[in-house]
Structure formats: structure tokens, C-alpha cells
């Protein structure tokens, strides 16, 4: 039976990430990542208060005692509407922002209450992310060679034409060697987990997969986005210190367990929004004009399978009269 189209929360979340990106953009290339992140947090929090939802931050800027705003457990939204889990990363890639490098983005994801997997004290996760063509054909327990061949077969290309993104870290050296031994191409990045995962699931980006160890909270956010894009993500916790390992085990997490996509985020109606801060490969950064600025965003809803690329034009003259967010460049 056909359903009457209902409210798309993602379009409201778009305003949230746009505000965060515009506020953070004032700090691009200034070498002050904390200031840029703080500006984005303030803007995101202010705009979230206007969104019609009963949200709880499950992935935020830290615990309440360490992060004054957007902390884990904080209530967000206007308290009306559906109960939701909320994951935020006001600036994904704070180093990229501080240095003016590509692919720093403002990100938010929302799912029904209880749908998001709680990473707890786990900071790092081994990940495998692919797009719709290779969904259901890869396995984190398989070898790198087997997964690369499966991706190539699914996309109708040679293994030597497959491009994989990894964070350039010592912890990923073994996987980097394995990929090169098979003959696939690698794009190494210095920071950022979410942006390359989006590229692996979107068409015509030149990226076919993301592999390697990155952030666990970012992995849950990524799962929300990839779900809406029809791709697949799998993960396994990978503590990078004895202290992290001890805390993860004491919290009852299984380090051998492969987390499937449906475990990382469940439910059929998740929302995701991201806005570029610095110029990126698939999202343009904030660009200033004579009268304001332009932004480029991505909005995804899993229930409909719809994703939108949104170009917005913002006028300082208008915004300064209606918003408390300091958008205008310093």
C-alpha cells in the first residue's frame, strides 16, 4: 500500500550543518582547530534547538564533564516529535580545517531512539565500507585480496582499477601493503573518516571502498549515511592502547565480534546531513561572495532511499537580522 509522504527531518538537519559549516569557515587555515570546532558546536547547538524532535546525543563532543556542549546524553531538539538518537561531528577533520586542507565537513545523523550502536569507551574500529554494487559481496573476515576481487567483479572493472581510501597511519601499514600486493590503487588521507566513506557509496567519485582502522564514533555516523545510500559497512573494534583495550573489555564489548551494518544502525528511517567547510572532492567548501556565502551539502534519508545534493546561497544582510550565529567573516 502506498504511503502518504511524511516529514523529511533531513531537510531540517540541513540547516543545522549549514550553520555549523558557515560558523567554522571563519577559522579555515588559521591554525586554531579548537576555535573552529567551538564555533561549529555553538552554531549547531543553537540550530538544533529549533528542530522538531525529542533527541538525545549518543555520539557527541565527549562526556558532560569534558564537553560543555553537545555532550553524550544531552537532550537536543525542541522536545516534540519522535524520540531520536543523534550523532554529531560539528567539524569532521579539525586538522583539515585548521590547515585549510580539503574535505573538512560538518555532519549530523539521526535515527529512531535505540537504533544507534553505542561505541562506549571504544575509540577505534577496523572498517570496510563499499557502495551499492558491492553490498552483500564483501566480508571483513575475508582477505584483502578476496574483498578487492569481489568489489572489482561487482563493479565490472579490473582489480587494478579499484581505488581504496585509507587513513595514513602506522596501524594501517599491513593493510596498505596487502592492497598494493594485489595491485589495486590507494588514496591515502591524513584525517577524516566520514567523507571518504560517503565517496565510496556515491556514484562517480572514483572511490570504490574504504578500509583500515579509524574512529569508532565516526563509524556509526558513517553507517547511518551508507544505509541511506544502499551501501554496506562492517566493523570490528580495534583498541590502540592497553588502556583503551582494558576499558572496552571492562565495559563488556567483544573484540572479536564483527559488527554488521544492521548492528551499527538499525531501523528503517535514518537521516544524515553534511555540509562542506573546506573545498572537497565531492562537497564544495564555504565560498564567500560580495553579499554572503555559498555552501554545498548532502542530505540522505534511508526510508525513501533519497539523497540530495543541495547548493545554498546565504545573505549576511538577511541572516544577521534573524540569527544569533556569527556567520560573517572576521
Binding residues for Mn(2+): 37, 61, 89, 92, 218
pLDDT at residue 1 in the model:
43
Residue ranges of the binding site for substrate: 92-94, 124, 169-171, 191-193, 215
Average pLDDT of the chain is: 92
Look-up of cell digits 581510501: 165
> Would you say residue 322 has pLDDT above 80?
no
Which range is least confidently modeled, 55-69, 141-155, 196-210, 236-250? 55-69
pTM for this model (two decimals): 0.93
Among 20-24, 36-40, 60-64, 260-264, whose mean pLDDT is lowest?
A: 60-64
Q: Per-residue confidence at 328, pLDDT binned at 50, 70, 90?
A: low
The answer to whether 82 and 54 are in contact (CB under 8 A) is yes
What is the model's pLDDT at position 293?
Answer: 95
State percent of the chain over pLDDT 70. 95
The closest alpha carbon to 136, from 147, 125, 127, belongs to 147
Strand stretches in 44-82, DSSP E? 54-59, 75-76
In sign, the C-alpha dihedral spanning 314, 37, 205, 131 is negative
pLDDT tens, residue by residue, 149-204: 999 999 999 999 999 999 999 999 999 999 999 999 999 999 998 999 999 999 98
What residues form DSSP beta bridges with 185?
Answer: 163
Q: Are strands 209-215 and 163-167 parallel, antiparallel or unpaired?
A: parallel
Asked if pLDDT for residue 216 goes beyond 70, the answer is yes
Amino acid at each position: 500500500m502506498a504511503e502518504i509522504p511524511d516529514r523529511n527531518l533531513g531537510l531540517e538537519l540541513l540547516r543545522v550543518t549549514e550553520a555549523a559549516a558557515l560558523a567554522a569557515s571563519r577559522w579555515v587555515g588559521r591554525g586554531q582547530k579548537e576555535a573552529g570546532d567551538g564555533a561549529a558546536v555553538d552554531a549547531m547547538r543553537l540550530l538544533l534547538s529549533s528542530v522538531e524532535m525529542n533527541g538525545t546525543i549518543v555520539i557527541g563532543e565527549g562526556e558532560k564533564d569534558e564537553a560543555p556542549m553537545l555532550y553524550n546524553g544531552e537532550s537536543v531538539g525542541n522536545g516534540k516529535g519522535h524520540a531520536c538518537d543523534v550523532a554529531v561531528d560539528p567539524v569532521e577533520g579539525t586538522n583539515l580545517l585548521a590547515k585549510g586542507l580539503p574535505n573538512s565537513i560538518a555532519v549530523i545523523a539521526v535515527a529512531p531512539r535505540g537504533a544507534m550502536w553505542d561505541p562506549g569507551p571504544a575509540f577505534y574500529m577496523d572498517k570496510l565500507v563499499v557502495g551499492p554494487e558491492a553490498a552483500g559481496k564483501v566480508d571483513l573476515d575475508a582477505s584483502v585480496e578476496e574483498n578487492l576481487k569481489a568489489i572489482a567483479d561487482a563493479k565490472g572493472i579490473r582489480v587494478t582499477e579499484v581505488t581504496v581510501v585509507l587513513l595514513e597511519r602506522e596501524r594501517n601499514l599491513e593493510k596498505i601493503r596487502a592492497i598494493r600486493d594485489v595491485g589495486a590503487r590507494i588514496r591515502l588521507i591524513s584525517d577524516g573518516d566520514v567523507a571518504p566513506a560517503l565517496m565510496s557509496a556515491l556514484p562517480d567519485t572514483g572511490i570504490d571502498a574504504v578500509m583500515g582502522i579509524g574512529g569508532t564514533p565516526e563509524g556509526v555516523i558513517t553507517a547511518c549515511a551508507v544505509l541511506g545510500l544502499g551501501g554496506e559497512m562492517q566493523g570490528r573494534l580495534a583498541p590502540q592502547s592497553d588502556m583503551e583495550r582494558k576499558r572496552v573489555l571492562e565495559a563488556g564489548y567483544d573484540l572479536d565480534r564483527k559488527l554488521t551494518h544492521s548492528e551499527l544502525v538499525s531501523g528503517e528511517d535514518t537521516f544524515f546531513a553534511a555540509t562542506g567547510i573546506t573545498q572537497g572532492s565531492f562537497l564544495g567548501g564555504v565560498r564567500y561572495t560580495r553579499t554572503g556565502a555559498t555552501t554545498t551539502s548532502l542530505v540522505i534519508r534511508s526510508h525513501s532511499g533519497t539523497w540530495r545534493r543541495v547548493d545554498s546561497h546565504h545573505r549576511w544582510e538577511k541572516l544577521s537580522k534573524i540569527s544569533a550565529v556569527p556567520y560573517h567573516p572576521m
